[in-house]
Structure 1
Amino acid sequence: AQSYRIFIHPSSLVTVFGSTNVNQFRFKYTEQLEIKKPVDVLRSNRELRLKGGDIPLKIKAFDSGNSIMNSDFRKMMKEEENPYIQVELAALIPEWDEHGSWTKGKAEVMVEMK
């Protein structure tokens, strides 16, 4: 495997959508997304398998625009016990062109409460 720095485009968004019996909600992540250390990349068939592509998301950085809903969300997510949602970028599945290059594709992620 080779190590690379992976940069997440500044326009990238993380949004949590949901609903209750009373309301629908949307929480947008308000901080810049980043992977802070180099990621090991191994090409497997037409996929790029990644190790170390961790993106920690602070629960307190999700905002609905409503302070009461924000507070309820933090309680529901047990922010005091688990202040982060850990997203791991596990694989990139590129749309390869005839020259073996790619500019877009899909991502496989793993999500864990920490």
Structure 2
Amino acid sequence: MRLLALLALLLFSSGIQERKELVITQQKIQVSGYTSVGKFNCDFSRAGMADTLRINSTEVRKGLEFKIPVKSFSCGNFLLNSDFRSTLKADDYPFAYVKVANFREKSGKIFCHLSLNLVGRKLEFPDLMLERNPKGLNGKLILNFDLLHLTPPSKFGGLVKVEDQLDLEILLGA
């Protein structure tokens, strides 16, 4: 009888969560912004890696860490690439660091802890929601230039201005 009660307790306990794994073979970071003349996208992607992502794991793990050379972001043409690198002070801060850890599933949605180190500023997002898609998991953030202690760039005497908001999308591909 005690064994049956213990088994029932284990099966129906809310603290027990299914452990899931996902093998990550690709990472992609995309930064999008808006100017007075249109939208721009700058991205970085890396394929061929292999790391196992554990969801609802009780193991202490350092998470997935990515060291991204700022000069490796591609914005579509050399002028945009140069402006993007200049805005992110690539000469002073040549790398962006992204760390995702503590993956957990709540009510069918996946959350993680995201640490972002960009232009010498470390930002923490303890409950970033990730969406499942056929390519893996992706998460979206909205950042402002002032959060990074940056000034939105402008060109041609202020005729072309970049809006204060940047959209950051992270894709962990399987």
After TM superposition, the score normalised by the length of structure 1 is: 0.63
Q: Which residue of 1 aligns with 2:88?
A: 77
- Post-superposition Cα deviations, 1:49-94, rounded to whole Å, max 9, x if no partner, equal 6425321111111112111001000000000000111101132113
Runs of 4+ in 1 over 4 A off after TM superposition: 33-36
Question: What does residue 27 of structure 1 align with?
Answer: 42
Listed as ranges, the gaps of 5+ residues in structure 2 are: 1-21, 52-56, 121-174
1:93 and 2:108 correspond: no
Larger Rg: 2
The counterpart of 2:33, out of the listed 14, 18, 22, is 18
1:54 aligns with 2:65: yes
Q: Distance in 2 between matches of 1:15 and 1:87?
A: 12
State the distance in 2 between where 1:89 and 1:34 align.
Answer: 16
Give RMSD over aligned pairs.
3.2
Given the superposition, is the C-alpha separation of residues 75 and 91 from structure 1 closer, same or farther in structure 2, using an over 3 Å criterion? same
Extract unaligned runs of 5+ from structure 1: 1-5, 37-41, 98-103
SS at the partner of 1:8?
Answer: strand
User: % of aligned pairs identical?
Assistant: 24
Higher strand share: 2
